[in-house]
Chains A and B, each alone.
Chain A
Amino acid sequence: MKKKLVALVLACTMIVSIFAGCGKSEDTGKADVTTKAEDGTTVSKSANELVDDENENLDITVWLYKDDYKVYDSYSENPIVDYINKKFNCKLDFQQPAMGSEKEQFSLMLGTGSYTDVMEVTFSTEGVASLYEDGVIVDLAPYIEKYAPNYYAFLQAPENEDVRKALYDNEGRIFSIPSGLRKDEAYHWGGFVYRRDILETMTGGYVSFPSGNEEMTTVEDWEYALSLMDLYFQAAGMTDYADLIIPYNGYFQTGELLNGFDAAPGIYVDGDTVKFGPAQDNFRNYLEKMHEWYEKGYIYKDFASRTNDMFYLPNTALTYGAAAGIWYGLTSQLGGAMSMPEYGLEMTVNAIPSPLDTAHTDKGMGFLSSDADRALANTNAYVVTKACSEAKLARFLKICDYLFTDEGMMLRSYGLTAEQGAADNKVYVDAGLTEGAYTGIEDTFKFNDLLVPDKGQLSIDGKTNSFYGIRLPGLSLYKYNNAYASEASKKASDEWRKYGKANTYPSGVSMTAEDNDAVSSDYSNYTDYMDTMIPKFIMGYEEINDTTWANFVERVNSLGAENSVKIYQRYYDEYLAK
């Protein structure tokens, strides 16, 4: 009996210990910055009361996911961070988990309550509004006006309306400072590409698209090319080939291919109205055409089984093995980059837009989520936690403010100049950049030879990101990089962006935790169903007729698409009204 009692007590002790981590923080969730008074009591201060003694060196801890830096391991060693540390008399101490463990580490930080002063929220499973509601982060709006006047002016500028609308919530609060903001656009990195050499071979150099254009633009042009590619691969005796590769679920979740049919893969905006793409008739047109192409053998026969392929790098055995005609490609694959002349393999790869379904639309759909809008306001961003003291908050905002000035923007985007002390920075000296990363400005701008994009040795070695500071909050400028882009890249970017992104739902709009959970759950439910049904429609296992289509639409709506549209519409109305 005594033994049993001891066993019972020990087992109960174990059970109680399981709940050790389930306690809730006593944090009140207030927006004000809190500080410990000398008597040990916690007091709140408003923005006007904050005092930052700039003579005091502050250690600001920052949680940031890792990226590949071939020159150093920790972002704390970044030369721009070093410059900022000296300029603002502080030490930005970056805490970076192992690559691949970011999401888990971020959740662990939230779960255990051991926050850093500042956090980058890319790997947060919650939106910034939820983090605020949970009492993890502070509202920055009152402090930005006082400590970050340049940034405040940037937000108030008419041309930055999109950023302002995404950042401010309905109560006028701001929870984050973006690190992905672009002053101008970089060239787009991926989209449809095709083997031009096949068409040249099959037509003896006289390629003639039905549209009369020099490149493929319409569905009819694609059919012309696909039929020639099919003949080419058959004549070559290939058994495993693909005229066209599409993702395993039968559609691109980023919008490519569908946008040519004036259709979208999910939530999109049409004027002031939010709609769900797969429930619209144009989506049916897309499915019918894909089914027709599959029946003709144009679409890769085993596409539905390629569940592990990333849409931007499909089946490399086919694409790099010269057994694919059209696929979602990358800038680095254009021209003759995929050829291997030493093995008798010559390929000419050109970029093309999605095919315009001229039978049903003359404009296509401005949906391209892979070309995210420039705000990315609340997703690629930094937040300040309740663990941050008032002085550190003020200092951090001053740093952010500097990085939103023209000088700060150049520092982030293009690194240190000789005048900024490149010769005093160990990373720059070791890399041979004592004369700085660049010289001049505007027409006289010139990269250091080692850093010339895709030509300089440091660029070829993939080391350039080690010398810039683009992961810090602030603005990015691409125009000098863009000036070095090849004509092929510029042309490809134009082709891939042909339909624009006017119908893409603004990505920065943040929701309450409840609504966020609701749309996430809906998305999971209707996407599972779509990913099952769409390949069936394309492969013919499910006939596409009025009845099956009506059932499909009804089912996706009942699985949450309709509910999500209502939620998104509510936030979109608020977004437009701001």
Chain B
Amino acid sequence: MVEKLKPSRVVFNILNYSFMIVFAFLCIIPIWHVTMASLSNPRLLMSASGIIWKPLGEVTFDGYKLVLQTASVLKGYGNTIIYVVWNTVVGTLITVIAGYLVSRKSFKLKNPLMIFILFTMMFSGGLIPSYQVNRALGLINSRWALMIPGIINAFYITMMKSGFEQLPDSYEESAKLDGAGPMTIMFKILAPLVKANIAVIAMFTVVMHWNSWYPASIYLPAARDAWPLQLIMRELLIKNDTATVLIATGDASGVVNYTANLVKYCVVIVGTLPVLMAYPFAQKYFVTGVTLGGVKG
């Protein structure tokens, strides 16, 4: 039997769906605009205003050619993958261990350690002290500058702690009675029960390190071969600034190469496409992440 919907429910559904469609549309428009602009005639693009619904003039891939022909872009992809994989795998593992440790009621230094961790979340050492520490450790212009200092995040530890604390004590007690040691309890019994937390932390880490350029600009100024994709993209963007290109053509009879005008759109697509493609597969974990910490029934 199909239940007949009340009129108020129908109205609600119409409004709800309308709102969600408009909201989805608003989210898609910027990506659509950038994609269409990246395929447009660069000279026509300069004279366009507002949202671009379809490529202006004949479709061109010149902007993508310019971006992808830059040798360092492919190298940047490789570097970014290294940083993302390392920080996600190792960072998440350490976060799980740290979260488990500070969530144990029997751990006597639980509170002091938590204060220690929370302190770093609220007060940063600042750029110059951080730089000096990294320099003293010999990390400047080394890949390890992006792979060691930022490997663990205090906020993620609190997330993991919260996840472990929500599990009944009886799980751990039962495991102990069956002869399980701390490692077995943590990895085989409790960790699978908080895999949603782990997945969220892993996804946040992936996104954060995929988009990261600032630490590399500070700690790897001369190690261009180790730059992540986003830093290379940023430099490419500055190099191909429209004004720079127009001023570089110093004579009235000079030929202006407008293709550079496409670069700012192409780097957005090239830089975000992999994450955009991966997002649908990880979407359910993001939804879980939003509800983390909520009251469970």
Taking Cβ atoms with an 8 Å cutoff, the residues of A that contact B are 3-4, 6-7, 10-11, 14-15, 17-21, 66, 68, 73-74, 95-101, 104-105, 108, 111-112, 114, 187, 189-190, 240, 310, 312-313, 316-317, 320-322, 330-335, 337, 340, 343, 453-454, 460-462, 484-486, 488-489, 492
Residue in A11, A317, A331 whose CB lies within 8 Å of B115: A11
Chain B residue, CB-CB nearest to A187: B250
Q: Render B145-186 as a binary contact track against A, CB cut-off 8 A, 1 for contact.
A: 000000000000000000000000000000000000000000
Is A99 within 8 A of B239, CB to CB? Answer: yes
How many angstroms between the C-alpha atoms of A20 and B57 in the bound complex? 58
Is A7 within 8 A of B129, CB to CB? Answer: no
Residue in A112, A310, A331, A340 whose CB lies within 8 Å of B249: A331
Q: Is B46 an interface residue (CB 8 A)?
A: yes
Closest-CB distance, A261 to chain B (whole angstroms): 27
How many angstroms between the C-alpha atoms of A476 and B254 in the bound complex? 22
How many angstroms between the C-alpha atoms of A114 and B128 in the bound complex? 11
Is B252 within 8 A of A108, CB to CB? Answer: no
Q: Is B131 an interface residue (CB 8 A)?
A: yes
Is B249 within 8 A of A454, CB to CB? Answer: yes
How many angstroms between the C-alpha atoms of A14 and B154 in the bound complex? 14
- Knowing that A68-B244, A105-B221, A488-B253 touch, tell me 10 more A-B residue pairs with CB under 8 angstroms: A3-B112, A18-B123, A18-B126, A21-B132, A98-B234, A100-B235, A111-B127, A332-B246, A334-B252, A486-B251
How many angstroms between the C-alpha atoms of A25 and B49 in the bound complex? 53
The number of chain B residues touching the other chain, given as a range, is 35 or more
Residue in B116, B238, B244 whose CB lies within 8 Å of A7: B116
How many angstroms between the C-alpha atoms of A572 and B128 in the bound complex? 37
Contacts of B57 in A (CB 8 A): 343
Q: Is B2 an interface residue (CB 8 A)?
A: no
Closest-CB distance, B48 to chain A (whole angstroms): 6
Contact A108 B218, CB 8 Å, known A100-B235, A317-B47, A320-B46: yes
Q: Is B231 an interface residue (CB 8 A)?
A: yes
Is A454 within 8 A of B49, CB to CB? Answer: no
Closest-CB distance, B264 to chain A (whole angstroms): 13
Is A332 within 8 A of B224, CB to CB? Answer: no
Is B218 within 8 A of A105, CB to CB? Answer: yes
Contacts of A343 in B (CB 8 A): 44, 57
Is B227 within 8 A of A98, CB to CB? Answer: yes
Q: Is B79 an interface residue (CB 8 A)?
A: no
Is B221 within 8 A of A14, CB to CB? Answer: no
Interface residues of B in 98-116 (CB under 8 A from A): 108-109, 111-113, 115-116
Is A104 within 8 A of B246, CB to CB? Answer: no
Residue in A100, A331, A334, A340 whose CB lies within 8 Å of B43: A340
How many angstroms between the C-alpha atoms of A104 and B245 in the bound complex? 25
Contact A99 B126, CB 8 Å, known A105-B221, A108-B131: no
Chain A residue, CB-CB nearest to B214: A101
Closest-CB distance, A343 to chain B (whole angstroms): 7
Closest-CB distance, B208 to chain A (whole angstroms): 19
Q: Render B111-142 as a binary contact track against A, CB cut-off 8 A, 1 for contact.
A: 11101100110010111110111010000000
Residue in B111, B126, B252, B255 whose CB lies within 8 Å of A21: B126
A-B contact pairs, 30 of them (CB 8 A): A3-B108, A7-B112, A7-B115, A10-B119, A11-B116, A14-B116, A18-B123, A18-B125, A18-B126, A20-B125, A95-B222, A98-B234, A98-B235, A99-B235, A99-B239, A112-B131, A114-B135, A313-B246, A321-B48, A331-B250, A332-B249, A332-B251, A337-B256, A340-B43, A453-B251, A454-B251, A484-B251, A485-B250, A486-B252, A492-B252
Contact A313 B242, CB 8 Å, known A10-B115, A14-B120, A485-B251: yes
Chain A residue, CB-CB nearest to B46: A320
Interface residues of B in 235-276 (CB under 8 A from A): 235, 238-239, 242-257
Closest-CB distance, A453 to chain B (whole angstroms): 6
Contacts of A101 in B (CB 8 A): 217-218, 221
How many angstroms between the C-alpha atoms of A73 and B257 in the bound complex? 21
Chain B residue, CB-CB nearest to A11: B119
Contacts of B133 in A (CB 8 A): 20
Residue in B125, B221, B245 whose CB lies within 8 Å of A17: B125
Contacts of A112 in B (CB 8 A): 128, 131-132, 135
